[in-house]
Amino acid sequence: GVTNGAKPWCLFTWAIVFTAIMLIVTLPILTGGLLMLVLDLHLNTQFYDASFNGDPVLYQHLFWFFGHPEVYIIVLPAFGVISQALSTSAGKSVFGGPAMILAMGCITVLGALVWAHHMMTVGLETDTRAFFSAITMMIAIPTGTKIFNWLSTFMGNPFSTISLDIWYALSFIFLFTLGGTTGVVLGNTAVDVALHDTYYVIAHFHFVLSL
């Protein structure tokens, strides 16, 4: 955990709190999008049917507003588990605990604002692309903070004392760092268009989740 004065703060608990916030915010959007799709299919509405002035791109916006935060919904609890494993095995609090909590909060907010970087090929305007590209790259700041603090937790601990669970944690950190690096590359709009729907994106996603 993290000690802030006399109050213990559990990073795993904070990770679950931020995960719950993301679920509460994004799931209703997905539900609404799917409901509109069902209405189009069965009740002759035209939310997404371009033949009747509907907008098929609207469905992509609604889906990815949930779909991208879903990545962080999956990985944030893992952040909490890794933090607890490092803290327990090192016998001390995770380095920069309050910064770790702030980083998870920033990831929660920024992760909900970058959904359209999955949609660079649908004809978004240049300023819109620039906005989502910039926000995408900004996520590297809190994630980099977490990686730095995890590794700094080892300061003063000889490698000979590292247990098996720490090796698992280090493996996660390595794979997550690799995935994050490939994500910064995709933050560039031109590169994103070139690599859209390729195995590079699939590899990036799986490395981020350390699968």
Helix (H) or strand (E) holding 2: strand 2-4
* Residues facing 7 on adjacent strands: 4
* CATH code reported for the domain at 2-208: 1.20.210.10
pTM over the 0.85 mark: yes
Mean pLDDT estimate for the chain? 88
Ordered by start, the domain boundaries in the chain are 2-208
- Evaluate if residue 106 carries a pLDDT over 70: yes
Residues in the chain, total: 211
Listed in sequence order, the residues at least 6 apart from 80 whose beta carbon sits closer than 8 Å to its beta carbon are 10, 11, 12, 13, 14, 15, 16
pLDDT tens digits for range 118-164? 999 998 899 999 999 999 999 999 999 999 999 888 776 655 566 78
Per-residue pLDDT averaged across 170-198, rounded? 91
Coil, strand or helix at 4: strand
